[in-house]
Amino acid sequence: MSRWIKACKLEQVKIGQLFGFSHEDKKILLANQKGKIFATDLICTHAYADLSTGFLSAEGVRCPLHLSVFNLQNGKPDNLPADVALKTYNVKIEQNEIYVEV
């Protein structure tokens, strides 16, 4: 059963920024793309790379290790070498706090 967890304050993820956090066994990435917050898995599906140290653009988040770009809406990679989608999570904002459904 899914539940909402509090991730961080909204101002901790400014436009164009990435933010990684852990909750129990999950590692989650928050991305602020043009003012909209997205949540995906933090670790690349290709190898062990922390996507919060990657690069955010209009296309999505680019892995810092081998440069696959993942779409933030569906988690799918646009280019090799990654060929498995990141898991994506629902996000809501309440009273300036970001919540993620895990």
- Are 56 and 29 in contact by the 8 Å Cβ rule? The answer is no
Length of the chain: 102
Tell me how far, at minimum, the Cβ of 79 lies from ligand FES, in Å: 9
The span of 6-14, 15-23, 65-73, 85-93 binding ligand FES (CB under 6 A) equals 65-73
What is the per-residue DSSP string for 15-66?
A: TT-EEEEEETTEEEEEEEETTEEEEEESB-SSSS-BGGGSEE-SS-EE-TTT
Which span sits near ligand FES by CB under 6 A: 14-22, 27-35, 61-69, 91-99? 61-69
Q: Out of 44, 56, 91, 98, which residue is the one contacting ligand FES (CB under 6 A)?
A: 44
Choose which of 32, 40, 68, 88 interacts with ligand FES (CB under 6 A): 68
